[in-house]
């Protein structure tokens, strides 16, 4: 059971009232395998607050209608809501205009829209696509396949053994014919947050655009694409308290303007003649067909929810959690933890192995104790190769996690050792 003497633990340094936040998440009241539920798989997807669920229900129950199409009141309301959430998201990430925000299914689609629209047009034989070995498959396989298709080459920002980057000779990488850079803002395996500013500025000095995979980052940190000066930014609603099936692609206007649409269909054309069509301006050109309207409503509620709590406070709270976690991890001599030792460049993701126990066994025993973690290679085989391991156990935290959750994780790990050291 969750301890009741944890007042000082839930009122963290960041000043967030975690106990109160937890009340917003219906899942957290549940039990799993008969134990009270501890959710530490936020890297895979986040839980959803009541406010987000309700906003979807409200759309379905009160003004369910397609957008941009109806002459009647409910369709007008739906359209206004939809457009206003685009503006809200643009503001959330500091985009200069609403039209630079395109709704997709998630990070994966966002990356693929850029690969198809910009990559297929601009990358040719012998060109280099610069990525890294710590990328998620979404931002790795996509560029690898483009390279294969075009006869281009995949090259990597050098990674140190702890999975962080060595940026000392970054400039020299651009002696290669680099045409595009795609890099993560936060590793989903180690929580490592590269120095994006340096990467972007260097790439731009060489006239090369940069795509940032913010799937893990945007849910926990303030993002400002104007300051960061990235060319594309991709993230998913479901990892930031929002619904499944909705994500965002931010793009620099000049690049979006030259891109081919990813899909063709209704709502993205102005005029269809027999053999040619003219397309709508941004962002509609990239949103063919009926979008995930309820998903957009939920995403809007998620942004409101996160902003109501404050992204800075969330980041600070999580910094506290990861520091506490790494401190407790040091008590386990047989625990190998992955990622940079420097806490300040890490988000709240804790990847580890316990002696030679297979991660699946660790995860399975934790499950039996009511604790949800993820095991395996986390859609990131290249970083596993870098570490020379088949997989890890990953505990990934979010705003509603508290010190109790971490303590329960370590109690669970004691149990694992008990079983395997019998």
Partner 1 sequence: MNYEEDLYKEIILENYRSKKNKGAIEGASFHAEGANPSCGDDLELFLSVNNGVIERITYDGIGCSICCAGANLLCEALTGRSFEEALGIVAQFKGMLLEEQEPDFDDAISDLEAMQGVKKYPVRIKCALLAWNTVEGILNDAK
Could you give the residue numbers annotated as active site?
A: 379
Residues 139 to 178 in contact with ligand PLP, rule: CB under 6 A? 139
- Where on the chain is the footprint of partner 1 (CB under 8 A)? 68-69, 71, 76, 270-271, 357-361, 364-365, 368, 375-377, 390-391, 419-420, 422
- Give whichever of 303 and 416 is closer to partner 1, judged by the CB atom: 416
Smallest distance, partner 1 to C-beta of residue 372, A: 13
Residues 256 to 275 in contact with ligand PLP, rule: CB under 6 A? 266
Choosing from 132, 142, 164, 351, the residue that interacts with a second copy (CB under 8 A) is 142
Choosing from 112, 216, 351, 396, the residue that interacts with a second copy (CB under 8 A) is 112
Smallest distance, partner 1 to C-beta of residue 357, A: 8
Smallest distance, ligand PLP to C-beta of residue 219, A: 10
Q: Are 251 and 98 in contact (CB under 8 A)?
A: no
Smallest distance, ligand PLP to C-beta of residue 204, A: 23
- Give whichever of 203 and 380 is closer to ligand PLP, judged by the CB atom: 380
Terminal-residue alpha carbon distance, the chain: 26
205 counts as binding a second copy under rule CB under 8 A? no
- Give whichever of 137 and 417 is closer to ligand PLP, judged by the CB atom: 137
Residues 217 to 246 in contact with a second copy, rule: CB under 8 A? 236, 238, 243-246
Q: How far apart are CA 115 and CA 110, in angstroms?
A: 9
Q: In 10 A of CB 178, how many CB atoms?
A: 18
Long-range CB contacts for residues 212-215, cutoff 8 Å, separation at least 24: 212/183, 212/184, 212/185, 213/107, 213/111, 213/135, 213/136, 213/138, 213/139, 213/182, 213/183, 213/184, 213/185, 214/107, 214/185, 214/186, 215/106, 215/107, 215/136, 215/138, 215/184, 215/188, 215/239
Q: How far apart are CA 106 and CA 260, in angstroms?
A: 19
Binding residues for ligand PLP (CB under 6 A): 43, 106-108, 136, 138-139, 184, 188, 213, 215-216, 236, 238, 266, 289-290, 379
């Amino acid at each position: 059971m969750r301890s009741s003497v944890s007042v000082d633990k839930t009122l963290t340094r960041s000043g967030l009232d975690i106990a109160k936040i937890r009340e917003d998440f219906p899942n957290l009241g549940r039990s799993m395998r008969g134990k009270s539920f501890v959710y530490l798989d936020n890297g895979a997807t986040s839980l959803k607050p009541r406010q987000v669920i309700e906003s979807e229900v409200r759309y379905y129950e009160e003004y369910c209608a397609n957008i941009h199409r109806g002459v009647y009141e409910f369709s007008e309301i739906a359209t206004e809501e939809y457009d206003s959430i685009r503006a809200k998201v643009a503001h959330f990430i500091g985009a200069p205009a609403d039209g630079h925000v395109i709704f997709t299914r998630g990070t994966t689609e966002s990356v693929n829209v850029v690969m198809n629209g910009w990559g297929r047009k601009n990358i040719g034989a012998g060109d280099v696509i610069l990525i890294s070995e710590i990328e998620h498959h979404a931002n790795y396989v996509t560029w690898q396949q483009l390279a294969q298709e075009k006869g281009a080459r995949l090259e990597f920002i050098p990674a140190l053994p702890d999975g962080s980057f060595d940026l000392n000779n970054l400039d020299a990488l651009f002696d290669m014919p680099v045409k595009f850079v795609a890099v993560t803002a936060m590793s989903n395996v180690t929580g490592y947050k590269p120095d994006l500013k340096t990467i972007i500025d260097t790439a731009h000095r060489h006239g090369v655009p940069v795509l940032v995979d913010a799937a893990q980052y945007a849910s926990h940190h303030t993002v400002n694409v104007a300051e960061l000066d990235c060319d594309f930014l991709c993230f998913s609603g479901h990892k930031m308290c929002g619904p499944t099936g909705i994500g965002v692609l931010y793009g620099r206007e000049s690049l979006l303007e030259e891109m081919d649409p990813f899909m063709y269909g209704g709502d993205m054309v102005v005029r269809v003649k027999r053999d040619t069509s003219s397309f709508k301006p941004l962002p509609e050109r990239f949103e063919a067909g009926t979008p995930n309207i309820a998903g957009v409503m939920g995403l809007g509620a998620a942004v409101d929810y996160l902003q109501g709590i404050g992204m800075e406070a969330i980041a600070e709270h999580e910094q506290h959690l990861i520091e506490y976690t790494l401190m407790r991890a040091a008590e386990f001599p047989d625990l190998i933890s992955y990622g940079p030792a420097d806490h300040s460049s890490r988000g709240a993701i804790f990847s580890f192995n316990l002696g030679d126990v297979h991660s699946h066994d660790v995860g399975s025993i934790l499950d039996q104790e009511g604790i949800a973690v993820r095991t395996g290679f986390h859609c990131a085989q290249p970083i596993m190769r870098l570490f020379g391991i088949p997989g890890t156990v990953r505990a990934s935290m979010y705003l509603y996690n508290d010190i109790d959750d971490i303590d329960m994780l370590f109690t669970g790990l004691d149990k694992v050792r008990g079983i395997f050291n019998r």
